[in-house]
């Protein structure tokens, strides 16, 4: 006896409530093992491969690549525990015997919309979430075909939930009335576009496969409604009126008529990492009364010290690691800047460990990996950890835990060839140190004009946790260590 189990998008931790499907790792009909990754999703923190806790045959997938799903939404269904000659006992949860991907693909090619199956005809078949196999793999295969039919429609809908078993598996009732159940729409974003503009999706005929409504169809209907100078919703007296769809080749960025007053352009959804950055930066600006101070420093001696350290034959030390070492020493002297503000309790929470974040630019946007317990690491350990986290950031394999929990951020924007900046604090931290490029400049050194390696340092701080005197003292100490690295050795 086989049982169809539904696997839902799990809670990925760190307060995350949704994720975007980036890439499916399995197809309908594939055999999966327990804890095998089945989908790659992108959260606001990182790319994550999600393993399935069941072993068996994938009977349905929910959501196309690019679809955002909330935590708890169905991801896949898996038929588990089939009995077969020489196989496992029913309900064991192990992989089905003798049912492979190639056979599943062949069966999918034979399925036709509306075609009844033995499993669908069986009393209490898919309607109660089980597939009756009567002890044979052939019966199970019929249940797989039925589920595959349903999954094709549900994946096209972009729906993440099902109101009832008959909505999800229309073949169990033998009806295909398009007015019943959800309208097939390519993604939730298109459904939201229609909803926000008052457009009834039931009045459209989709130009996609099997009547799937595309974004171009919705935009065409909105432009047509605007050009005719009428409301976009169809009067209730004509419940089955149809709006002619756009040709499938119509691009989503087709210019709207001048009557709409909407300028043309390309829209990029604020989601994933980009959306998380936007939310965090907006919150920082709303909640934190920040201020910035800066100073130019002569980094010539720091650069010489690094050259001497790397000439000793040991592991190479990065400049970022030296700056991080200076930061942790400065925070030990000015712990107010390693704090966070609890506005509900109206308290400043001073933290006893430094989890140092650093800005890393990747193809997917700006991320801030966190070096845990940076105050306890030497320059060599910091160099190794920076290298590891940077490589993981570029590969998109950082975990949510490696991207959260920072208490202070070091931002080396000098790698972009700029001298200065006023950083936005990484909420809920209290400060960020920015470092510009190090370039030769005329500088008065020991009473004479000379060419020295000069860098601009800037500190943005939360004015609730300290005043300018504390912030200035922190930045001055950092500058002194940059100009004379021996200062750091005296204070360790």
- C-alpha distances (whole Å) from 423 to each of 63, 419, 427, 434, 488 are 38, 13, 12, 7, 25
Count the alpha carbons within 13 Å of 211 in the hemisphere toward its beta carbon.
16
Q: Which of 11, 378, 463, 480 is catalytic?
A: 463
363 assigned to active site: no
Residue among 296, 373, 467, 480 flagged as catalytic: 467
As to burial, measured by CB atoms within 10 angstroms (0-12 exposed, 13-18 middle, 19+ buried), residue 280 is middle
The CA distance from 436 to 453, in Å, is 12
445 is catalytic: no
What's the number of CA atoms in the CB half-sphere (13 Å) around residue 84? 16
Contacts of 475 (CB under 8 A, 6+ apart): 293, 294, 295, 433, 457, 459
* Residue listed under structure tokens 């799990």: 10
> What CA–CA distance (Å, rounded) separates 177 from 197?
26
Catalytic positions: 463, 467
């Amino acid at each position: 006896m086989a049982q169809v189990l539904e696997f839902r998008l799990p809670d990925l931790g760190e307060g995350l409530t949704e994720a975007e499907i980036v890439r499916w790792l399995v197809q309908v009909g594939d055999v999966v093992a327990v804890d095998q990754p089945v989908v790659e999703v992108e959260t606001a923190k990182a790319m994550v491969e999600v393993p399935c806790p069941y072993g068996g045959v994938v009977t349905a997938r929910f959501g196309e690549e690019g679809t955002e799903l909330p935590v708890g939404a169905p991801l896949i269904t898996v038929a588990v525990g089939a009995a077969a000659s020489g196989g496992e006992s029913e309900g064991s949860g192990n992989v089905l015997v003798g049912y492979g991907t190639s056979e599943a693909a062949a069966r999918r090619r034979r399925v036709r919309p509306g075609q009844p199956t033995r499993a669908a005809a069986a009393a209490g078949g898919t309607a109660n979430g089980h597939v009756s196999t009567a002890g044979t793999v052939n019966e199970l295969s019929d249940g797989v075909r039925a589920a595959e039919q349903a999954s094709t429609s549900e994946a096209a809908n972009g729906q993440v939930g099902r109101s009832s078993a008959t909505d999800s598996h229309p073949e169990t009732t033998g009806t295909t009335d398009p007015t019943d159940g959800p309208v097939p729409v390519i993604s939730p974003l298109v459904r939201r576009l229609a909803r926000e503009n008052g457009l009834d999706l039931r009045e459209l005929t989709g130009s996609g496969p099997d009547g799937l409504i595309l974004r171009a169809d919705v935009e065409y209907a909105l432009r047509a409604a605007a050009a005719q100078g009428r409301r976009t919703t169809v009067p209730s007296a004509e419940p089955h009126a149809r709006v002619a769809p756009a040709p499938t080749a119509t691009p989503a960025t087709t210019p709207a008529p001048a009557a709409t007053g909407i300028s043309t352009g390309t829209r990029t959804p604020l989601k994933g990492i980009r959306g998380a950055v936007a939310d965090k930066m907006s919150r920082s600006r709303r909640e934190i009364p920040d201020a910035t101070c800066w100073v130019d420093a002569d980094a010539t001696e720091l650069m010489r010290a690094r050259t001497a350290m790397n000439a000793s034959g040991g592991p190479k030390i990065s400049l970022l690691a030296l700056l991080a070492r200076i930061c942790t020493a400065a925070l030990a002297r000015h712990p107010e800047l390693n704090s966070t503000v609890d506005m509900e309790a109206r308290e400043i929470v001073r933290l006893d460990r430094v989890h140092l974040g650093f800005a890393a630019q990747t193809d997917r946007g700006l991320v801030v990996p966190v070096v845990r317990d940076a105050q306890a690491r030497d320059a060599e350990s910091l160099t190794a950890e920076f290298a590891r986290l940077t490589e993981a950031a570029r590969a998109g394999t950082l975990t949510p835990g490696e991207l959260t929990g920072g208490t202070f951020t070091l931002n080396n924007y000098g790698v972009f060839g700029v001298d200065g900046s006023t950083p936005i604090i990484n909420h809920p931290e209290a400060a960020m140190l920015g470092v510009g490029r190090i370039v030769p400049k005329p500088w008065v050194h020991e009473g004479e004009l000379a060419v020295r390696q000069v860098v601009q340092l800037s500190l943005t701080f939360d004015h609730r946790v300290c005043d300018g005197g504390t912030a200035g003292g922190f930045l001055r100490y950092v500058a002194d260590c940059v100009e004379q690295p021996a200062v750091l050795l005296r204070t360790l």
